[in-house]
Amino acid sequence: MKEAQEEATTNNDQATSLETQDVVSRGSSKVVEYKWWIKIALFTIFVLSGQSVATMLGRLYFNKGGNSKWMATLVQTLGFPLMLPLIFMYLPSKTTPKPQEFTTKPSWITLFMLYMFLGIFLAADCMLYTLGLNFMPVSTYSLICASQLAFNAFFSYFLNGQKFTPYIANSLVLLSFSSTLLVFQSDSEQSVKTSKTKYIVGFVCTVAASAGYGLMLSVTQLAFKKVLKSQSYKVVFDMIVYQNMIASCWILVGLFASGEWKDIKGEMAGYESGSVSYIMNLVWTSISWQVFSIGCIGLIFEVSSLFSNVISTLGIPIVPVLAVVFFHEKMNGVKVIAMLLAIWGFTSYIYQHYLDDKEEKTKAKVVNREVNLIEIRISQ
């Protein structure tokens, strides 16, 4: 009897110990999950605020008399020195190493080729975006940019193993229709200063830029996974700095080769709001794009390139509304339908992400239960 009682007492103690460990592990996992969601929320705010402010300031630059396309492109990448303090904050010695970090680091030649490719790609993409913003109303421009989500999903399918589900397919179709619909606007709804030819050029450039941006996000995610292989935020900030630095160098070459640098002084003097306003516009545009870059690459690092693009697409309704308020652009029926289709497409993708997250949590609970049962059986 005593032996049976002692055995029962031992089993109860072991069960209690396992329950305590389970409670502690759940508590710590919840803390980690909350921290993760805080980071995601912060990066999301960076993407939405940076993108909206930068786009509006870019349109304001042209509206007030700015003409240099190379200068408008340069400010999208020139703010990279703002990232240098963050790089020093996340030096390897100050970062707690994780087991998955003990991998072979890529050679400097590999890193050079990677950053060179992404930098040149970014410079070309920024120029295409600048041409689109210059030739089109900012509300139309921002709605067409929604197509980058469809392009990103397409490239992610081949490069990142992105699964295609009915909800994602529905999202891609709706976003494609949303941007294509804007081609059929009547001439009366276009900007008075923009000819039909320039409007078409702006549309083509914006669609091409969206396709390029979608590809660049997929390649960035692939680089984090296959080349950089690190869980440190220093890698994220390195990516931003070197990519933008190389892009800025190439854009500067274009600025001097085109001869536009000779007109900057006259452009500043003829700016409607004054030279100080001209400088402040360029400075804050540059800062806004860097804030956007931190949020964008941070979301790629934490989740995926497609999720980062979805959050960027979430800002679609913001810019057209701001354009109506500040630039007095018309929000006609075509734009409203395009906006609703884009929001519907975004919601469809978010719902799929919710289903995936729910499925992963269910699987994790089942695995935890099986592990606990195995531990109890072993202890007995």
User: DSSP character for 189?
Assistant: G
Residue with tokens 């059986």: 377
pLDDT of residue 72: 94
Least confident of 13-22, 75-84, 109-118, 350-359: 13-22
- CA 62/CA 366 separation, integer angstroms: 57
Average pLDDT over residues 210-237: 85
Query: Is the predicted pLDDT of residue 239 greater than 50, yes or no?
Result: yes
User: Domain-by-domain residue ranges, the chain?
Assistant: 32-91+105-379
Write the CB contacts of 136 (distance below 8 Å, at least 6 apart in sequence): 144, 191, 194, 199, 202, 203, 206
Q: Which residue has the higher pLDDT, 98 or 12?
A: 12
On the CB side of 135, CA atoms within 13 Å amount to 20
Write the CB contacts of 84 (distance below 8 Å, at least 6 apart in sequence): 241
Split at pLDDT 50, 70, 90, the class of 311 is confident
Split at pLDDT 50, 70, 90, the class of 188 is very low
pLDDT of residue 16: 54
- CA 346-352-355 angle, 5° bins: 145
Write the CB contacts of 137 (distance below 8 Å, at least 6 apart in sequence): 190, 191, 194, 323, 327, 329
Write the CB contacts of 81 (distance below 8 Å, at least 6 apart in sequence): none
**Range from 101-105, 187-191, 278-282, 364-368 that averages highest in pLDDT:** 278-282
pLDDT of residue 322: 78
Query: Is the predicted pLDDT of residue 24 greater than 50, yes or no?
Result: no
Split at pLDDT 50, 70, 90, the class of 313 is confident
